Amino acid sequence: MSSKDNVAIHQLLALLEARYAIRVLWALRDGHPQTFRLLQDSVGGITPNTLNTRIKEMREAGLIGHGPDGYCVTPAGADLLKRLSELPAFAAKWVAGQGRRKQQHSAAT
């Protein structure tokens, strides 16, 4: 992987690791626009100030747009979500593996 690729990955991960960033993007994954209030409810637990900040950052990054019906993912945001769509299956498999490791560790001690 080139250093240019590493920089791009670092920039994307820095954007997504901000508090609630992935949750905001994930809340828009169905492609239906959401008003600010609906998006806040969809994310859950996010303050208006934090939501405003995440929206601004993701709009500047080209992942979220705003239309007459509310916020929605852009084609780039939809592409990212498509690539993240395997995350739930991986997470379920990973959690199951964690449980097995804890059981094996408990049995060994």
Closest CA relative to residue 84, chosen from 23, 2, 10? 23
Neighbours of 38 (CB within 10 A): 14
**What's the rounded Cα separation, in Å, for the pair 75 and 63?**
7
Q: What average pLDDT does this structure show over 73-94?
A: 92
The whole-model pTM stands at: 0.79
Q: So what's the pLDDT on residue 105?
A: 67
Q: What average pLDDT does this structure show over 35-58?
A: 97
Residue pair 37/68 in contact (Cβ under 8 Å)? The answer is no
Q: So what's the pLDDT on residue 109?
A: 64
Beta bridge partners of residue 64, listed in sequence order: 73
Q: Which residue has the higher pLDDT, 29 or 87?
A: 29
Neighbours of 99 (CB within 10 A): 10
- pLDDT above 70 covers a percentage of the chain that reads 97
**What's the rounded Cα separation, in Å, for the pair 81 and 104?**
35
* Token pair listed for 35: 């008003």
Q: What average pLDDT does this structure show over 32-49?
A: 96
